[in-house]
């Protein structure tokens, strides 16, 4: 078995194996041509979710198509792999555009001997069938800033020049202690490392609570990449990290500002309309059998809480600044409405 994607001693993430850059002007070698690239994601994965949100906020749905893998990976050669299945809308168990069953095929298209990790998100060149990038951070920043003419009219500036330092400063702390911190807690091999991870996680959440008590968004008066990065973890927190990853000092719904902020974004086009809590629950509880041996999927909490009033407008700020909200979710990309589960 490959070195596990989540090493048990420490959550050290490997650098992306594929990191070609796609930009509007092609100055790094690849130009963002409509239809040329397909974004393979899992709705469960918080790193892939960032790219899905940016794609939608920027209106890049026509420029780069979306392939959604089954949330429950299939074991192939002893390792769990992202696959396309009939159940999640891929006829014949193959992605209709790439013609592959397992994402691994695209990772191996350029090198049949490739034996590294196979992760989502992955941007695949439709012409060659090869993965171009699995660098979620670069993908989301490039889509926000470099896909220029392909973005919709009214697309927001998610990474304003004057705020980049602040966005990165917060992003680094949020990444270390929150985005990755939940994994550190969930996969901690001993009490000391669990205690340290949980302490830092809640210290950081407390800091964000404080910050968000007086301001609607993390940086500036509009949505930025800082919000996209934090929100992908907040969305999953009470449903999976609180129970499965033992991040249970507090729920997000027990924080006044963070819960209001999380609901505000959920109800903003580009966020909640890309969220699939069923995929999230199924993936974490069924795949992570090292920490949930029975694979039983927890039922709660009642997701309808996401739709309750948040009153965050009172803090001022406008989600899209000078821009406009994205239009309706394209046909075939809708997520199921929130339903009562418990």
Ligand X SMILES: N[C@@H](CCC(=O)N[C@@H](CS)C(=O)NCC(=O)O)C(=O)O
CB nearer to ligand X: give 4 or 308: 4
Binding test (CB under 6 A) with ligand X, winner from 32, 45, 132, 277: 45
Phi-psi region of 80 (alpha: psi -120 to 50; beta: other; left: phi over 0): beta
Q: How far is the CB of 18 from ligand X (least distance, A)?
A: 10
Question: Can 342 be counted among the known catalytic residues?
Answer: no
Binding test (CB under 6 A) with ligand X, winner from 59, 71, 80, 186: 80
CB nearer to ligand X: give 14 or 86: 14
Which one of the spans 116-124, 239-247, 253-261, 306-314 is the region binding ligand X (CB under 6 A)? 116-124
Q: How far is the CB of 145 from ligand X (least distance, A)?
A: 20
Binding test (CB under 6 A) with ligand X, winner from 47, 107, 259, 284: 47
CB nearer to ligand X: give 6 or 335: 6
Nearest to 156 by CA among 68, 107, 214, 227: 227
Residue keyed to tokens 């555009």: 97
Question: Can 217 be counted among the known catalytic residues?
Answer: no
Nearest to 331 by CA among 5, 66, 45: 66
Q: How many helices (H) and strands (E) does the chain have?
A: 9, 8
CB nearer to ligand X: give 136 or 306: 136
Q: How far is the CB of 117 from ligand X (least distance, A)?
A: 6
Strand boundaries in 126-246, DSSP class E: 131-133
71 scored as a contact of ligand X (CB under 6 A): no
Residues 211, 48, 337, 155, Cα dihedral to 10°: 70
For CA atoms 328, 50, 94, 29, the dihedral sign is: positive
5 scored as a contact of ligand X (CB under 6 A): yes
Q: What are phi and psi of 155, to 5 degrees?
A: -65, 140
Instruction: Please identify which of the residues 37, 107, 159, 183 carries the catalytic annotation.
Output: 183
In 3-state terms, what secondary structure has residue 256? helix
CB nearer to ligand X: give 49 or 56: 49
134 scored as a contact of ligand X (CB under 6 A): yes
CB nearer to ligand X: give 47 or 194: 47
Report which DSSP code applies to 177. Answer: I
- What does R_g of the chain's alpha carbons equal in angstroms? 19
Residues paired with 68 in a beta bridge: 41
Which one of the spans 55-63, 117-125, 211-219, 232-240 is the region binding ligand X (CB under 6 A)? 117-125
245 scored as a contact of ligand X (CB under 6 A): no
Which one of the spans 112-120, 142-150, 245-253, 314-322 is the region binding ligand X (CB under 6 A)? 112-120
d(Cα 115, Cα 2) in Å, to the nearest integer? 8
CB atoms within 10 A of CB 332: 9
* Helix intervals (H) in 288-341: none
Binding test (CB under 6 A) with ligand X, winner from 90, 119, 232, 274: 119
Interface residues with ligand X (CB under 6 A) are 5, 13-14, 45, 47, 73, 80, 117, 119-120, 134, 136
Q: Which residues participate in catalysis according to the annotation?
A: 45, 183
């Amino acid at each position: 078995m490959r070195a596990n994607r989540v090493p048990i001693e420490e959550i050290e993430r490997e650098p992306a194996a594929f990191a070609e850059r796609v930009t509007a002007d092609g100055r790094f070698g690849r130009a963002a041509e409509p239809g040329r690239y397909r974004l393979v994601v899992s709705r469960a994965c918080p790193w892939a979710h960032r790219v899905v949100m940016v794609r939608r906020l920027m209106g890049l749905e026509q420029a780069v198509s979306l392939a959604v893998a089954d949330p429950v990976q299939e074991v192939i050669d002893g390792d769990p792999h992202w696959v396309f299945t009939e159940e999640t809308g891929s006829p014949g168990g193959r992605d209709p555009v790439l013609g592959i069953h397992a994402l691994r095929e695209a990772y191996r298209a350029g090198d049949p001997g490739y034996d590294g990790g196979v992760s989502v998100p992955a941007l695949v060149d439709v012409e060659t069938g090869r993965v171009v990038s699995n660098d979620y951070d670069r993908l989301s920043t490039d889509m926000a800033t470099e896909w220029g003419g392909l973005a919709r009219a009214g697309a927001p500036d998610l990474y304003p020049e004057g705020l980049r330092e602040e966005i990165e400063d917060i992003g680094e702390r949020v990444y270390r202690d929150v985005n990755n911190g939940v994994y550190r807690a969930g996969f901690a091999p001993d009490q000391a490392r669990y205690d340290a991870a949980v302490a830092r996680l809640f210290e950081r959440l407390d800091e964000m609570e404080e910050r968000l008590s007086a301001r609607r968004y993390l940086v500036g008066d509009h949505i930025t990449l800082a919000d996209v990065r934090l929100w992908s973890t907040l969305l999953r927190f009470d449903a999976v990290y609180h129970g499965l990853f033992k991040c249970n000092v507090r729920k997000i719904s027990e924080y006044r500002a963070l819960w209001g902020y999380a609901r505000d974004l959920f109800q903003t086009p580009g966020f909640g309309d890309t969220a699939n809590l069923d995929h999230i629950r199924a993936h974490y509880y069924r795949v992570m059998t090292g920490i949930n041996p029975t694979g039983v999927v927890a039922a709660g909490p009642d997701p309808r809480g996401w739709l309750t009033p948040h009153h965050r407008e009172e803090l001022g700020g406008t989600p899209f600044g000078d821009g406009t909200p994205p239009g309706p979710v394209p046909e075939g990309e809708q997520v199921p409405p929130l339903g009562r589960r418990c």
